[in-house]
Structure formats: structure tokens, C-alpha cells
Structure 1
Amino acid sequence: MTATKIADGVIDVHAHWLPRNLFTLPPGVPFGQMHDRNGELYLGEVPLSIPAAAMSDVPAILDDMRRAQVGVRVLSAPPFAFPVHDTDGADAYVDAFNTALAEVVAGTDGALIGLGMVTFGDRGRTTEHMQNLANTPGIAGVAIPPLVGTESLDRGSLRHILSEATRLDLAVLVHPMQLPRPEWPDYYLANLIGNPVESATAVASIVLGGILDELPDLRICFVHGGGCSAGLLGRWTHAWNARPDVRRSSTYAPDKTFAKLYFDTVTHDPHQLALLRAHAGVDRILCGSDYPFDMAEPDPVLFATTHGPTAPALTESARSFLGL
């Protein structure tokens, strides 16, 4: 990361921010615009159950950090702001977000770090966005979705981003998009089942696609504890040993590669976090909150240090992931 001052304390690698002038969201998104309705944040006509100020106002973010004893918070865009549709205006939206993010993190004396945004349609333009991020103080990397269309991290535009992130020494944070499916119309299942499945799909594409064989220096983190991937790792490893088609693209068994990835602590379950630690190792677990969403861990440092690594270990691992 371009040299910048970093505050002391536990680093929360998974938190969201979007300035109010970008509540419009990128062109082509299917959700409708975000808006502030009497102080509450809406996505189209859907209430997000959070104050609008929590998403957009830096003083509210810093107040929450003091309450939760977070030393440094890493900000990225909410996933519905990812410009996954290659439409006119997406480049301008990305540039506006990255510029605003750089200004915000520059004014917080090292308490905030940024993960920027890129477009996905044109690889040359994607690289240009990433080169700009690499040259911006306070920006440590890029946040991306686990899927663009039908492609995950082992091919297409997302694979290109991983290659460029490695070349430019940028960290990569993978955040699911809560993609709707017809069998999940109720009970918030697009989030409760969909998000973990999206993340597990992306983890599988890394460990079975041989990505770290080609990019051993890639620093990549999967939020929400990698979704359901830790619980599926034994099945993947068995299949890798049993089936040539499963192991055709990778040199190492999934359980070996899994231990080279980073994961945050937003698991909502101490037992799930313990399983993740057993598979990934202490030095690959990072404190996360998912601030300011309703599915966030309200006391991220307390949860992480009670059920996971110590505060110094969390901080050291996060600094490694961010390239500090």
C-alpha cells in the first residue's frame, strides 16, 4: 500500500461506506436507488433497517468505532454498488467513488483505510482503475463480488483483477451480492443462504482453479467467514483425491490451499469460527464487522477476541493482508 499513517488497535477489514451523492448507484443495477427516507436508508422500496447516516457520514462511523473499540476500519462500497453491468456511466461512478473514498480516508489520521472499486467490462479500463488505486495513499486494495454473470474468480474479468492485484500489490476483498433466486423469495433467504453460497463458490474457484499456483503472492479475503466453505472443505478435498476432473486445474489439495486465504470473523457462531480457525489457521483470521448492516456483528472486536485469535494476532494478520 502507498505509504500512509495507520492508527493503532484492532483492524476491522469489513465495513461499508457510500457518500450520499452516490446513493443513485451505478447505471444498470436492478435494485433501484438508495435514498434517505426520514433518516432511514432504503434500497428502492426496501428498508435496509439502518440509519442513512450510518452508511454515509464519517462521524457516525468513527463514533461506532469508539463504541466497539475498533482501532482502524477498512471501508468498501456496499455490494449493491458494484458496477457489474457494463453500461455507460459505470466508469464515472467508479471514479467518483474512488476519489471520494481517498478524500475520506486522508482526513481521519489513519483511523480509516479504503478498498476501492473497479469496472468489469473492459480489462484495460479495469487495470487503469487499479493502477490509480495502487498510487493513492490510504487505499490498500479493491473490493469485488464473487461472481460477475456466470463467472467466478477463476476466469474472465474477476480472474484479470486477481492477476492485476498481485502485480500491483493490492489486497482483494470478496463480498457477496445477495443475488436473488426464485427458490428464495421469503425469509431473507437470498441473504441467509445466498450470500454464504456465493462466497463458497468463489472460495471453491480459488482452491480448485489453481489460482494460487499461478499467483502465490495474492492476498485475498472472503467476508462472512467465507460463507459455508469451511463446512464443505472436507467434501471438496475428498472429491479432489477421488476425481480427476476436480483436480485437473490445481496442484494442491483444497485443504492446503484454503490455509493460504484470509477470512473475516463475521460468522455469528463461535463454533463456525472455531471450524474456520481449524482449517485456515490463526494467522489467516481477520476481524470484521459488516458495519452498518443489520447482519453486522455489533461488537466485532469482543466477538473476535473471545472466540478467535488475540487482539495482537488479529492486528498483525490484518496488516499482512493489507500489505502494511
Structure 2
Amino acid sequence: MSFELRPGPVDVHAHWLPRELFGLPPGAPFGGITDRDGRLFLGEVPLSIETRLMSDVSEIRADMERAGVGSRVLSAPPFAFALGTEKGAADYVDAFNDGLAQVVRDGEGWFAGFGCVTPADPQATARQLQTISRTPGLVGVALPPLLHGTSFDSEPLEGVLRQADEFGLAVLVHPMQLPSPSLSKHYLVNLIGNPVETATAIASMLLGGVQESLPTLRVCFVHGGGCAPDLLGRWSHAWHARADVRAASTRPPEDGFRALYLDTVTHDDDAFTLLAAKAGDGRVLLGSDYPFDMADGDPVRHALERGLTAEQIERDGREFLGLSESDPTVSR
């Protein structure tokens, strides 16, 4: 069975979750999602999202038309990642992946999808990745940057990357906004916590030698790579200065960084300029973070104003997803 995206800019970073899965997977650290008068709450925390925007595919399409987005790759919001091995976690992931496949199948090229896995359960993960790879329009897997104090240079996340690469799947890495006492005020758990989680995962991949051991892996870190572009020089200095920093890798981190994909959600012209200067050619992808309050509500316009072209963001998005620009039809 083949799959084809609509022409136009490809937004690789957007979220969807059906109402029937608002309970979240067993063991979810924040409690379930509730709809209160049309607004979403995560436990007792307001998400500043209208419920319909998270679940209603027609609303997502309307936003895409308004913003000039050709196609959108949907993934679960990070609080719906299944992090543990509790009974029912794999069932929750299967239900999400089945629902996402249906949205993509019915979407007439408007949507592709990043499926979910249960990374703490290697046996279930292997089965889920195989299913994703065989489902038309599911082009990859969304993963957290951290899992129980480990990242991509350790099991189980490193093993998930290797399996995704073997299946030819793209990987989208999205921070979890993990709670921390020092970040409990002013929404710092998002404003600081999310960029640091992402930078930690990038550093683990580069300094751990994982990226160079998986040269064909297509992996995108959202929110412009978090604070990694600003820290890259510090990492490189340490790599040259300290034997323990370079012990697991054979090349400085700036080399590996140019092989990663990053999205455009930087919220700032100067931050985007730095990202573009550090990233490799064709490695900056269009992202929106729809429908969150921290989303870029006009991602195509902002990408064009910051020097990308419509042709670039379509071509590079397709290449990341494993879809050829010249032949956008794939059997997956």
C-alpha cells in the first residue's frame, strides 16, 4: 500500500490525541487530562489549550490552511508517552498508534504520523516499531529525550534508536517537561526544563558516539534543539580539553551536530540565526508545536522571514521523513 503527502511545506512537529485516550498511559506522572468547559487540564495544571484543537482533525486542517502548511506530521503530546512497564501501557500505545494510522489514512495526504512505543519494554517496543514501519503514513517514532535518568547513550533509548534506524524510521525527540522543585514557579519547567532536556539528549548522542555509530539515522530535536546550539562551543572546548569527554566519540561534537535535524520553533530571530549557523545544510525543518500555548502560530511565515524558502522546507521535510521530493509516494 502506498502513501502520498500533499504538496507544500511540511510541518514535522504537531500534536494530536483522541479524547478516548485522555486518561493517559498507566503510570503517567501527571495524572490524566480532563476537559473543563472546553479547556484542557493536565491534572490540576491548565494547559491553555482548547480541547477541540487537540483532538478535532478538522480544526487542525483549518489551522494548516490558514498558516499555509501543506502537510503536518502528528505525534502524541509528550505527557502521553508511555514511560513504564505497567500493565496496560503497551495497550495504550497500540490504541494511539491505531488511531493515528486511521487519521493519516483518512487524511488524504494532509497528515503523516510519528507513532509511539513503550521504550522501557524492549519486547513490546520491537513489535511496535515493526508495526509502525509497515503502516502507510506512519513515518517514524516520537521519543522522550530522557527515561528514568538515562538518555540516548544508554539502554533502553539507545536500543530504540538502533531499531528505528534498522526499520528506516525517522525519530522525533520531544522533551517531557519533567517536574523539578527548582523549576516549580513561573512555568520554568517548560521555559528552562524543556530546552535543557533536549540539550542533554543531544549531548548524550554526540559525546556518547551514538550519532557517529548510526550515520543513516534521521533524528530531529524539536524547539530548535533546545539550548544545544548555544552550548555547542562549550562542549567542543571540553571535547578537546578533556580525555573523559571525548572517550566515547572520535570526532568533535560540532561535526555530529551538523548531521542532526532541528526544527524552527525558536521564538526569536537571533536564536534562529545561531541555529542556522550551527546546523548542517538542509537540517532545519519546519515545526509549529501545534496546538500548545508555546507553539509558533505562523510557522511558514516566520520560516520564510528568517531566510528559508518554501521549496527548502518542503524538500528537507520530505527527506527527513524518508519521502523523496521527486517521488513523494512510498510503500510503508
Shift of 1:229: 0.1
Structure 1 match to 2:233: 234
Contact (CA 8 Å) 1:14, 1:290: kept in 2 or not? Answer: yes
Question: Corresponding residue for 2:131?
Answer: 132
Q: Which residue matches 1:87?
A: 86
Q: How does 1:1-324 map to 2 (within 5 A)?
A: 3-324=2-323
Q: Post-superposition shift, 1:308?
A: 3.8
Task: Write the distance in 2 (CA, Å) between the matches of 1:234 and 1:76.
Answer: 31
The 8 Å contact of residues 196 and 227 in structure 2, kept in 1 or not, is answered as yes
Output the amino acid matched with 2:67: A
Give a deviation string over 1:14-70, Cα, whole Å, max 9, x none.
000000000000011121111111111111121111110000010010000011110
Aligned equivalents of 1:257 and 1:80: distance in 2?
29
The letter for the 2-side match of 1:298 is G
The one-letter code matched in structure 1 to 2:183 is: W
Cα deviations by residue, 1:63-116 (Å, 9 ceiling, x for unpaired): 000111100000000000001122111010000000000000111111100000
Q: Unpaired segments of 5 or more residues in structure 2?
A: 324-332
Q: Which amino acid aligns with 1:223?
A: V
> CA separation of 1:200/1:308 partners in 2, compared to 1, >3 Å: closer, same or farther?
farther
C-alpha distance after superposition, 1:218-248 (max 9, x if no partner): 0000000000000000000111111110001
Q: Given that residues 289 and 295 in structure 2 are in contact (C-alpha distance below 8 angstroms), is that contact kept between their aligned partners in structure 1?
A: yes
Q: Report the Cα offset of residue 254 of structure 1.
A: 0.4
SS of the aligned residue for 2:220 comes to: strand
Q: Within 1, Cα distance between the matches of 2:28 and 2:119?
A: 14
Provide the secondary structure at the position in 1 that maps to 2:164.
helix
TM-score under structure 2 length normalisation:
0.96
- Tell me: CA distance 1:3–1:238, structure 2 relative to 1, closer, same or farther (3 Å): farther
**How far is 1:316 from its partner?**
1.0
CA contact (8 A) 2:142 2:172 kept: yes
SS at match of 2:11: strand
Q: Which moved more, 1:80-89 or 1:219-228?
A: 80-89
Amino acid at match of 1:87: E
Distance 1:206 1:306 in 2: 31
Secondary structure of the residue aligned to 1:244 is coil
CA contact (8 A) 1:207 1:257 kept: yes
Residue 328 (structure 2) aligns with: none
Stretch moving more, 33-42 or 145-154? 33-42
Q: Percent of pairs identical after alignment?
A: 56
**2:280, 2:143 → 1: CA distance?**
24
State the AA in 2 paired with 1:83: A
3-state SS of paired residue (2:46): strand
The CA deviation at 1:123 is 1.1
**Equivalent AA in structure 1 for residue 198 of structure 2:** S
Q: How many equivalent residue pairs?
A: 323
Q: Distance in 2 between matches of 1:216 and 1:104?
A: 32
Counterpart residue type for residue 103 of structure 2:
V
CA distance in structure 1 between the aligned counterparts of 2:158 and 2:262, rounded to whole angstroms: 19
Aligned-pair distance for 1:309?
Answer: 1.6
Note the C-alpha offset of 1:121: 2.2
- Partner-residue secondary structure (3-state), 1:231: helix
- 3-state SS, counterpart of residue 245 of structure 1: coil
Aligned-partner Cα distance in 2 for 1:185–1:89: 30
Q: What's the secondary structure of 2:41's corresponding residue?
A: strand
Q: Report the TM-score when normalising by structure 1.
A: 0.98
SS at match of 1:173: strand
Please say if residues 265 and 304 of structure 1, whose CA atoms lie closer than 8 Å, have aligned partners that are also in contact: yes
CA contact (8 A) 1:277 1:308 kept: no
State the AA in 2 paired with 1:202. A
Contact 2:162 2:214 in 1 (8 A): yes
Deviation at 1:148, TM superposition (A): 0.3
- The whole-number CA distance in structure 1 between the counterparts of 2:2 and 2:10 is 17
Kindly provide the CA deviation profile for residues 250-276 of structure 1, in whole angstroms up to 9, marking residues without a partner as x.
Answer: 111101000000000000001111101
Conserved? CA contact 1:177–1:195, under 8 Å: yes
Extract structure 1 runs of 4+ deviating beyond 4 A: none
CA RMSD of aligned residues (A): 0.9
Q: Which amino acid aligns with 2:216?
A: D
Structure 1 position 3, deviation (Å): 3.3
